[in-house]
């Protein structure tokens, strides 16, 4: 952080510190990624693989052809939602790590309605299901939000715990209430055909468009709207925000709800577009990847897109690379875990600042 | 009934060990989300070394030391590099699971030949007692060790220099540091201890019953241990009580399923309990700090 | 043979940036005496104490220990030399009991475990020696402030300190507890220990000290034997004899409309102590009302109540005729309230954000900047450019982070932001703290400009000179209550000084 009493510079001088700051910021985002690839390279080398050629193959599998790019984008779609949902909360200084739970429950709600309301036409059914997902996600994030704002309960542990509750709850529901007829495994009935999100080529669905629209809107909103401004200031310096007349509790509460809402929408898009139903194991940790994305992107819209594509590429390439070589898919987890640990090193511990200053 | 209790007692051991480790860490000021990963690491180390050496003692030792070392790295990232402990913990879990999965080459289960499992100890005389006998007898030494660890931990915290200084280092604020205590080193030590306990827990999980490693075998126990010491407010005896309760649920889940209760719902109870405890604590704190 | 100087300073100078906290300070404390240091806030007392305790190092000059010059490498070094300090913020671990806190770090052991019986024996012995009785098993967090303080002192003795430095020890105590503490200190002195304490309470100082040194603006203004001094002479040493040049024309009570009224405000904290007691004041249009008082006597609470950061437990706040006691900060700002906070980095700015972002604060929902919740294109840039130019904020551009500005320029930015909306009432708390001379003069001019155009200013400042130069009236707070209101022109500061240190009936 810049020193407090740097001597004044004449107005009109080139804004050196602004550019340097931006470069430093980008550099700090790339460091965890670089570190992850180094660690991955070590792991590969130790087990007898040539890291460079492996990475080259992965890059080809991720972006090498139109079909591969589509596969990457399809894999990136749920991540965009998860990353955006997490970033909204982080931007407001709230460490919401319950995105996974909201995603799952949102998907469940959408899958249920999608299978139940077969009479509705597609153009109506899809928005209804997505809306249901959004509402479910928002409702699920309301209790920890309330606990944080009214009682000062640490949102990290509460949202983490509720993740597991959500997964267990959804698992029970899909195994009892919504269990598809005649299936032995835990899956709900498939959604009505008109509820399936239209595809855009390959595995890419309309969900990608929805997600991108969401991210773009988020970018515009945080930069250009008064409420986005209030969110940013609350996350950066709650004491200052309060003095400026911003209602910190209200901003925090709303940030949590929006976070849950977006996660729920992501779950709905995933249920309607990809899985076409709800199953046990609906989210293979999308929420946690979302955290890594938000950290790398430093909660910025452009970064969210880039990081989501990165992780989508890893997931998609990892899956296909596994098919014709012997490299286990787990290398992706190794990369992701390393990114999270390294990204964590740079995150200023906003929680402590918030606790010290907030009312 | 006796069978259920016996099963519950066995199931409680890894929980108890991991929870005690997490408790020590918490007293030192760090919330260790990575118990899960450390248990997993302990489990695989135990199986590998036990198969190599034919000795379960060596296997457990490897598990303990290996996870303790991992705990040290984890702790340094937090205390020296300023990493956020929650995110680093989540990342650590994913990283460890990934490394192990990678090493196993997607086999899922690893069952080498010659894995020495932990023997059971039959206490003659006691095992004849109904109910209590099922609980007390026919357990492996690590289980007995875990039971002893509860009063030992309580004694450690209350009556030793290290325990007192641990409690001081874990309190918010810089008082410990201002008094000349090396708070960071103490915190590191508590994380290493948590790693050691969790590693031993994972080792016992692998070698105590099944003698093999499966990628999914920890199955969230690391998080349940977290729930346990949150429930126990980082005190040894209530934490042990929580572990006993959670293990009991685990053991009777088949029975519950027959009665119509869903395992999935029951499995969420420990986590809900944590949220409830957090809420109650917060309400109490608020009431205490309210203006007269 | 006992040294002549157990602890002291010789020509100690310490600078922070452009500010000289200690200027050629020399001080000698004889063993077995109680030596008091008095002075206003900002006079350099705490800096000097930190240097004597090894928490800080002088830029020039040296610390003297046992007649010899010494370099203290840190608190551990000081402890080894028998010097101990009780800070204003106690360093106790709330979760541990009093006994555990006492022995922490130096626990007596027996065969690997703590020997609690021996520890308790030590504790009782110390308690007996000082005539205090403590419930040793009470968690420190639940003990009263007086008990916690006593424990801090006992802990120093447990670590065998014979020099005890106490920073404002009576500030947190109620009068009966103060008497107990003074008795304790006298007893310790009689037992051969050396006590140094900082205080504003002149009567207490005279009651217990043997020698008194006064500091003003970093310099020693006098050292006297307590027997030869009285409160008046001490005040003169603290605030000086000179009359500051009068910068204001005497003005009749601005009979104009009251812009800010505080009516019977009271604040009671969680411990049941009254931080503010039945405080009433009025700021009229075209008037600057200064709040004088020793730090910690209710000024912060008063400002928080006026601004809306805290709800008073009694009384009401009226801004421009509207009762805002239940209103939010945003609503009060809409009524014309503006605020320059004392802690600009925490409350006045977002240091990592750009100047643009910082300028929007407080008016991010106003019509000038936004339309239906969205920022108007270019409006923010225009406003920021206007402020930067009008208030002469030196910066490298509008996009730079606020932290890259110097303190003075940061304050200009805040000032400009708050004044752009032509506020009816401007609350300024320590507006020139950490600001260079030229910047301070500019800020004071601007405060007067608000007064000129008919606004009202509530000025809280620890610098008496500043208050005297700018205020039409000065309200003095002591122990949370108004001890007096003095109208300008101010010819003699001793009256103010006396009001600031007056006893308040509790």
Question: Across C2-112, where does the E strand assignment appear?
Answer: 7-16, 19-29, 34-38, 60-65, 68-70, 83-86, 109-110
Please report where in the chains the tokens 């300190």 appear, as a residue: C161
Mean of all residue pLDDT scores within chain C: 85
Q: What is the pLDDT of residue C274?
A: 83
Sign of CA dihedral B101, B102, B108, B110: negative
Q: What is the pLDDT of residue B187?
A: 92
Give me the long-range contacts of C366-371 (CB less than 8 A, separation at least 24). C366/C421, C369/A226, C370/A226
Looking at chain B, the whole-number percentage of residues with pLDDT higher than 70 is 92
Identify the CA nearest to B74 among candidates B195, B157, B163, B185. Answer: B195
Inform me whether the pLDDT recorded for C252 exceeds 70: no
Which B residues in the span 81-140 are in contact with C, Cβ-Cβ below 8 Å?
A: none
Give the pairing type, strands C68-70 and C163-167. unpaired
Domain boundaries, chain B: 2-218
User: Which of A153, A329, A347 is opposite residue B87, by nearest beta carbon?
Assistant: A347
Asked if A164 lies within 8 A of B91 by C-beta distance, the reply is no
C379-392: average pLDDT:
90
Inform me whether the pLDDT recorded for C247 exceeds 60: no
- Poorest-pLDDT segment among B227-236, C214-223, C238-247, C309-318: C238-247
- Poorest-pLDDT segment among A3-7, C74-78, C344-348: A3-7
B289 and chain C in contact, CB less than 8 A: yes
C404 and chain A in contact, CB less than 8 A: yes
Domains, chain A, in order of start with CATH, read 33-358 (1.10.3470)
Instruction: Give partners of B (≥3 CB pairs < 8 A).
Output: A, C
pLDDT in tens, B211-225: 888 888 888 899 989
Q: How are strands ordered across the β-sheet holding C425-429? A: C337-340, C425-429, C456-460, C287-292, C473-478, C481-487
Cis peptide before B227 (omega within 30 of 0): no
ipTM of the complex in this document: 0.82
Radius of gyration of chain A (CA): 21
Please report where in the chains the tokens 């495994």 appear, as a residue: A185
C241-251: average pLDDT:
50
A157 and chain B in contact, CB less than 8 A: yes
Q: What is the pLDDT of residue C246?
A: 44
pLDDT in tens, B179-192: 777 888 899 999 99
User: Which of C91, C109, C268 is opposite residue B292, by nearest beta carbon?
Assistant: C268
Q: Are C336 and C424 in contact (CB under 8 A)?
A: yes
Sign of CA dihedral A263, A218, A59, A47: negative
Q: What is the pLDDT of residue B157?
A: 92
What's this model's pTM, rounded to 2 decimal places?
Answer: 0.82
Q: Are A62 and A68 in contact (CB under 8 A)?
A: yes
pLDDT in tens, C414-434: 999 999 888 999 999 989 877
In whole angstroms, give the CA distance from residue B291 to residue C257.
Answer: 35
Q: Where is pLDDT greater, at A120 or C43?
A: A120
In whole angstroms, give the CA distance from residue C164 to residue C153.
Answer: 8
Question: Across C75-193, where does the E strand assignment appear?
Answer: 83-86, 109-110, 113-114, 163-167
H helix runs in chain B, sequence order: 2-27, 35-53, 56-79, 85-104, 132-136, 141-159, 161-170, 175-178, 183-205, 221-231, 236-251, 253-259, 263-289
Q: How far is CA C285 from CA C248, C253, C502, in A?
A: 16, 10, 30
Identify the CA nearest to A61 among candidates A335, A337, A324. Answer: A324
- Residues of chain B found within 8 Å of residue C75, distances taken between Cβ atoms: 178, 180
- Poorest-pLDDT segment among A169-173, B174-178, B267-271, C325-329: B174-178
In whole angstroms, give the CA distance from residue A189 to residue B27.
Answer: 48
DSSP state of A329: T
Q: What is the pLDDT of residue A35?
A: 85
In whole angstroms, give the CA distance from residue C325 to residue C305.
Answer: 8
Residue in chain A closest to B74 (alpha carbons) equals A341
Q: Which of B271, B284, B286 to mutate to test the interface with A (most CBs of A within 10 A)?
A: B271
Q: What is the pLDDT of residue A4?
A: 27
Q: What is the pLDDT of residue A159?
A: 94
Q: What is the pLDDT of residue C176?
A: 73
Q: What is the pLDDT of residue B5?
A: 80
Looking at chain C, the whole-number percentage of residues with pLDDT higher than 90 is 30
Residue in chain A closest to B92 (alpha carbons) equals A337
Q: What is the pLDDT of residue B254?
A: 65
User: Which of C346, C373, C399 is opposite residue A357, by nearest beta carbon?
Assistant: C346
Q: Are A189 and A178 in contact (CB under 8 A)?
A: yes
pLDDT in single tens digits along all 359 residues of chain A: 222 222 233 333 334 455 666 676 777 778 888 888 888 888 888 888 888 888 888 888 888 888 888 889 999 999 999 999 999 999 999 999 999 999 999 999 999 998 888 888 888 899 999 999 999 999 999 999 999 999 988 888 899 999 999 999 998 888 887 677 666 677 888 888 888 888 887 888 899 999 999 999 999 999 999 999 999 999 999 999 999 999 999 999 999 999 999 999 999 999 998 888 888 888 888 998 999 899 888 899 999 999 999 999 888 887 887 777 777 778 888 888 888 888 877 644 434 433 433 32
- Residues of chain B found within 8 Å of residue A351, distances taken between Cβ atoms: 84
Q: Where is pLDDT greater, at B289 or C408?
A: C408
B215 and chain A in contact, CB less than 8 A: no
Q: What is the pLDDT of residue C1?
A: 67
C257-261: average pLDDT:
90
């Amino acid at each position: 952080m810049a020193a407090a009493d740097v001597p004044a510079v004449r107005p009109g001088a080139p804004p050196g510190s602004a550019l340097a700051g931006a470069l430093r910021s980008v550099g700090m985002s790339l460091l965890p990624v670089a570190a992850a690839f180094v660690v991955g390279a070590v792991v590969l080398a130790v087990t007898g693989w040539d890291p460079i050629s492996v990475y080259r193959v992965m890059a080809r599998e991720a972006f090498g052809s139109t079909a591969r790019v589509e596969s990457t984008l399809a894999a990136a779609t749920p991540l965009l939602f998860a990353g955006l949902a997490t970033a909204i909360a982080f931007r407001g200084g709230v460490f919401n790590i319950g995105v996974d739970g909201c995603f799952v429950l949102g998907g469940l709600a959408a899958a249920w309605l999608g299978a139940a309301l077969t009479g509705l036409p597609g153009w109506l059914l899809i928005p209804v299901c997505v809306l249901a997902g959004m509402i479910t996600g928002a409702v699920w994030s309301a209790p920890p939000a309330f606990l944080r704002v009214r009682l000062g309960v640490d949102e990290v542990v509460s949202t983490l715990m509720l993740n597991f509750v959500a997964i267990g709850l959804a698992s029970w529901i899909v195994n009892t209430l919504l269990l598809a007829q005649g299936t032995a495994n835990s899956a709900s009935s498939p959604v009505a055909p008109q509820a399936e999100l239209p595809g855009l080529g390959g595995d890419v669905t309309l969900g990608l468009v929805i997600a991108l629209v969401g991210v773009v809107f988020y970018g515009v909103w945080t930069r250009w709207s008064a409420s986005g401004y209030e969110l940013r200031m609350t996350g950066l310096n709650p004491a200052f925000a309060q003095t400026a007349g911003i209602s910190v509790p209200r901003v925090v509460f709303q940030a949590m709800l929006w976070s849950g809402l977006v996660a729920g929408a992501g779950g709905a898009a995933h249920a309607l577009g990809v899985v076409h139903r709800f199953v046990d194991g609906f989210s293979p940790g999308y929420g946690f990847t979302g955290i890594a994305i938000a950290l790398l992107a430093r909660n910025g819209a452009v970064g969210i897109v880039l990081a989501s594509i990165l992780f989508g590429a890893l997931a998609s390439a990892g899956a296909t690379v596994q098919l014709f070589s012997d490299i286990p898919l787990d290398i992706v987890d190794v990369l992701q875990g390393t990114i999270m640990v390294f990204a964590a090193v740079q995150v200023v511990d906003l929680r402590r600042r918030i606790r010290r200053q907030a009312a | 009934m006796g069978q259920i209790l016996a099963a519950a007692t066995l199931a409680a051991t890894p929980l108890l060990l991991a929870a005690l480790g997490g408790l020590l860490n918490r007293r030192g000021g760090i919330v260790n989300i990575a118990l899960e990963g450390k248990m997993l690491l302990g489990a695989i180390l135990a199986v590998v070394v036990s198969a190599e050496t034919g000795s379960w003692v060596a296997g457990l030792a490897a598990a303990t030391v290996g996870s303790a070392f991992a705990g040290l790295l984890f702790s340094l990232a937090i205390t020296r590099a300023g990493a956020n402990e929650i995110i680093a913990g989540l990342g650590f879990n994913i990283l460890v699971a990934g490394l192990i999965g990678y090493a196993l080459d997607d086999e899922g289960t690893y069952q080498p030949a010659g894995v020495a499992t932990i023997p059971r100890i039959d206490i003659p005389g006691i095992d004849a007692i109904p109910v209590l006998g099922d609980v007390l007898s026919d357990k492996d030494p690590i289980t007995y060790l875990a039971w002893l660890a509860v009063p030992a931990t309580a004694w450690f915290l209350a009556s030793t220099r290290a325990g007192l200084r641990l409690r001081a280092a874990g309190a918010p604020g810089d008082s410990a540091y201002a008094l000349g205590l090396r708070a960071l080193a103490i915190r590191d030590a508590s994380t290493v201890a948590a790693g050691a306990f969790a590693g031993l827990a994972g080792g016992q999980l692998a070698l105590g019953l099944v003698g093999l490693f499966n990628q999914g075998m920890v199955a969230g126990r690391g998080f349940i241990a977290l729930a346990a010491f949150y429930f126990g407010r980082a005190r040894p005896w209530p934490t042990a009580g929580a572990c006993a309760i959670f293990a009991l649920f685990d053991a009777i889940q088949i029975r519950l399923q027959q009665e119509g209760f869903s395992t999935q719902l029951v499995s969420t109870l420990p986590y809900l309990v944590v949220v409830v405890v957090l809420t109650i604590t917060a309400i109490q704190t608020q009431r205490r700090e309210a203006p007269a | 043979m006992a040294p002549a100087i157990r602890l002291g300073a010789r020509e100690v100078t310490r600078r922070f940036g452009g500010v000289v906290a200690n200027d050629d300070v020399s001080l000698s404390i004889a063993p077995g005496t109680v030596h008091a240091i008095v002075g206003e806030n900002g006079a350099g007392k705490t800096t000097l104490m930190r240097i004597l305790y090894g928490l800080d190092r002088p830029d020039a000059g040296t610390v003297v220990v046992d007649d010899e010059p010494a370099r203290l490498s840190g608190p551990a070094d000081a402890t080894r030399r028998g010097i101990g300090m009780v800070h204003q913020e106690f360093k106790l671990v709330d979760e541990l009991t009093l006994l555990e806190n006492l022995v922490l770090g130096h626990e007596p052991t027996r065969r690997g475990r703590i020997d609690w019986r021996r520890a308790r024996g030590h504790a009782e012995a110390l308690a007996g020696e000082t005539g205090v009785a403590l419930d040793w098993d009470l968690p420190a967090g639940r003990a009263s402030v007086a008990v916690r303080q006593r424990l801090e002192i006992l802990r120093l003795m447990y670590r065998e300190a014979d020099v005890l430095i106490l920073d404002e020890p009576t500030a947190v105590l109620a009068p009966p507890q103060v008497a107990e503490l003074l008795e304790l200190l006298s007893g310790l002195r009689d037992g051969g220990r050396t006590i140094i304490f900082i205080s504003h309470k002149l009567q207490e100082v005279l009651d217990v000290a043997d020698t008194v040194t006064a500091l003003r603006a970093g310099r020693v203004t006098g050292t006297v034997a307590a027997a030869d001094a009285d409160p008046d002479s001490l005040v003169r040493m603290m605030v000086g004899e000179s009359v500051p040049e009068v910068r204001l024309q005497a003005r009749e009570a601005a009979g104009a409309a009251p812009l800010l009224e505080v009516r019977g405000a009271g604040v009671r904290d969680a411990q049941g102590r009254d931080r503010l007691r039945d405080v009433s004041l009025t700021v009229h249009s075209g008037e600057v009302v200064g709040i004088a008082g020793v730090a910690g006597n209710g000024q912060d609470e008063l400002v928080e109540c006026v601004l809306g950061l805290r709800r008073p437990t009694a009384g009401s706040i009226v801004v421009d005729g509207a009762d805002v006691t239940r209103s939010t900060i945003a609503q009060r700002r809409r009524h014309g309230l503006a605020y320059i906070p004392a802690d600009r980095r925490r409350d006045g700015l977002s240091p990592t954000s750009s100047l643009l972002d910082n300028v929007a604060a407080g008016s991010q929902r106003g019509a000038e900047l936004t339309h239906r919740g969205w920022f108007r294109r270019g409006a923010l840039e225009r406003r920021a450019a206007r402020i930067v130019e009008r208030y002469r904020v030196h910066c490298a551009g509008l996009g730079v982070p606020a932290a890259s500005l110097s303190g003075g320029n940061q304050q200009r930015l805040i000032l400009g932001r708050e004044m752009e909306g032509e506020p009816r009432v401007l609350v300024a708390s320590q507006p020139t703290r950490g600001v260079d001379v030229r910047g301070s003069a500019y800020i004071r001019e601007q405060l007067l400009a608000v007064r000129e155009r008919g606004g009202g200013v509530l000025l809280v400042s620890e610098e008496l000179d500043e208050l005297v130069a700018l205020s039409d009236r000065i309200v003095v707070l002591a122990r949370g209550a108004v001890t007096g209101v003095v109208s300008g022109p101010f010819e003699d500061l001793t009256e103010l000084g006396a009001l600031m240190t007056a006893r308040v009936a509790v």
